[in-house]
Chains A and B, each alone.
Chain A
Amino acid sequence: MARGAGERSYLVQSVKWFIEDWVVEPLRIIVRNKKALIGFLILLFYIWMGTLGPLMTPYPKSFTCPVYLPPTILRWPPSLAHPLGCDYTGTDIWAEIVWGAPTVLEIAFIAGLVTTVVGVVIGIVSGYLGGLTDSVLMAITDVAMTIPGLPLLIVLATVIRTSSPVIVGLMLSVTAWAGLARSIRSQILSIRTRDFIEAAKALGLPTWHIVFREIMPNLMSYIAINFIFATIGAIYSSVGLYFLGMLPYTSFNWGIMLNMAYTQAGALYSISTIHYLLAPIIAIVGLQVGLILFSYAIDEIFNPRLRAH
């Protein structure tokens, strides 16, 4: 009985430590770092748009705006009912931005995750095993790094006609992993000769223990930063492909809004329709800025040596 209670209290203590390490302390770091705090708040706002936003915003429909009245500078200008105004079809721009967020975020998250995981796995396997495996994997990595990613995506998009965010996300990772794989490999090469790895090997610890418990913690902050960069890259390519009209779409998307403003609405020609163009631009740039600012805290969150300060 006493032993059971002891185990339970140990479990409770572990959970407490976990929360302390991964929730309380990171939040403390974020609050202390002004840039990261701004980035974090921006990201929270985007996460709200991607999850609860569409539930709290009416579905964007054409002709929801009242008839346009000429004596204003902007066409269908922002008003209380329509905070960003309406586009040339009379659709509320704010609703379009909010309803476009889930796809953009989903694609970016999946692509960022897949890119990071593939890059890390190939980098570790290549660096740790060495020999022929390393040569072959690095040759593939070099080819993937050299082939320009965006034209490849454009060409692939002509056969893979999909609007599923999961498949688009997978497609975006097709060559994006290469840079990370290369740098993870070179980090592994320098770590594996360090004393504590030699010691772990001498102790006869299994390979998975050495890789996941001894090597990985040293790479975590680097991997987390690269996850953010991979996400930024995925937003760039996915919005860009939608902007060019290379991907079929079933829902709202900022890239498509950008394309509509650029091609259809004549937002470039007359200042009176400029809010069609500015809304998706601000949405995209805002997300990128949020991610960049948030990344200023990543190193501190994942690197215990920095936390001590």
Chain B
Amino acid sequence: MKWIYRRLIIVFLTIYAAITITFFVVRAMPGDPIDALAQELVWKYHMSYEQARQLAMSIAPFLPKGDILHQYIRYMINFFRGNLGVSISYSTGTPVISILAAAIPWTVLVVATALIISFTVGILIGMVMAYKHGSKLDSGLAVLFSITRSIPEYIAAIILLWVFAFELGWFPTRGRYDYWALEALKHGDVFAFVWDVMWHATLPILSWIVVHVGGWALGMRGSTVSVLGEDFVHYAVARGLPSRRIVVTYVGKNAILPLFTSFMLALGFMFGGSVFIEYIFSYQGIGWVLYQAIIERDWFLMMGAFDIIVVAVVIGALLADLLYGFLDPRVRRPA
């Protein structure tokens, strides 16, 4: 069980590092975030600067008075209480945490769907490639995938957007859902709303799949080829087991396991790349919020968005690890 404790320590260290980085980045910024918030309040509510500054200090996630260590500890405590300050670019006074809570499910929807589809499709293609190892199909796909894997997803997204949304008009060009779908939802037509959401999410998901399927397929191909050379597979064949059982239980299961370790990297990569995908499709998930926060110089929102991306990736990676430990008893032993 030691690996679980080690994993949990890394989880906390990672979140701690993320909070620390954002805090010092914002403090190192030219210009005072409290001042920016106060000025926003003056401009919006016509209050005196003194009043606005008092209000800004009371809603900021750290006290701007006192030494930096004091501020840092205060911010840390506030973070774990869920107080991330307020946004200045949204309607003033909106807590950052509620903006993030509204955005993160959409990113999770796109990233999780894309990850599951590209993992499944990639594994199936990878197995076919491994069984046809050395054939024209195998070597052709290997070169193709090694190239698609290195194409940035923002390029894939722009091309898909241009071809399927602008030229062919099959899919919407931007957004998470249409206005009419929200109205339909209010009238109880859940199906129409879900359909519209899927329709909007198709191109963002497809952008990920185009880029990621190749990586999974190549990983599965390599893994399957090495499992195929193992003695227990030859023995299973010699025992006359049905080939379906050998392919699924003996080879497939053992070949998939090592791929789980790539889940963490894929998750981090996809949550990070969401900034591009969501910017290109104006898809209002967490990446879009991070982009907007920086463009609007909304520093508390930026801190919160970055921290929440890290938390999401860490939790996702932890779940993948626990699942891996559950599926493969070998990793439970200390290395």
Question: Is A139's CB under 8 angstroms from B25's CB?
Answer: no
Name which of B14, B152, B302 has the most chain A CB atoms within 10 A of its CB: B152
Q: Please indicate the chain A residues that have their CB under 8 angstroms from the CB of B151 in the complex.
A: 285, 288
Question: With A and B bound together, what is the CA distance between A158 and B173 in angstroms?
Answer: 29
Interface range for A: 35 or more
Asked if B269 and A148 make an inter-chain contact with CB atoms under 8 angstroms apart, the answer reads yes
User: Interface SS of chain A: helix, strand, loop or mixed?
Assistant: helix
How many A-B pairs have beta carbons closer than 8 Å: the answer is 124
Known: A240-B154, A262-B158. A146 touches B14 (CB 8 A): yes
Q: How far is the CA of A245 from the CA of B29 in the complex (A)?
A: 18
- Chain A residues positioned under 8 Å from B162 (CB to CB): 267-268, 274, 277
**B141 lies within 8 A of chain A by Cβ:** no
Interface size of B by CB at 8 A reads 50
Interface string of A229-268 (1 = CB under 8 A from B): 0001001100110011110000000000010001000011
Which of A54-62, A74-82, A149-157 touches B? A149-157
- The reply to whether the CB of B191 lies closer than 8 angstroms to some CB of chain A is no
From A147, A156, A246, A288, give the contact of B147 (CB < 8 A): A288
Q: Is the C-beta of A20 less than 8 angstroms from some C-beta in chain B? A: no
Q: Which B residues are within 8 Å of any A CB, using their own CB?
A: 9-10, 13-14, 17-18, 21-22, 25, 28-29, 143, 146-147, 150-152, 154-155, 158-159, 161-162, 166-167, 173, 264-265, 268-269, 271-273, 275-276, 279-280, 287, 290-291, 294-295, 302, 305-306, 309-310, 313-314, 317
Minimum-distance CB pairs A-B, first 5 = A150-B272, A148-B272, A148-B268, A288-B150, A146-B14
**Can you report 22 A-B residue pairs in the complex whose CB atoms are below 8 A from each other?**
A146-B14, A147-B14, A148-B269, A148-B313, A149-B268, A149-B272, A151-B306, A155-B21, A155-B306, A158-B25, A235-B152, A239-B152, A244-B275, A244-B276, A244-B279, A258-B158, A268-B161, A269-B166, A271-B167, A281-B159, A284-B155, A288-B147
Task: Spell out A's residues near B (CB within 8 Å).
Answer: 35, 139, 142-143, 145-152, 154-156, 158-159, 179, 232, 235-236, 239-240, 243-246, 258, 262, 267-269, 271, 274, 277, 281, 284-285, 288-289, 291-293
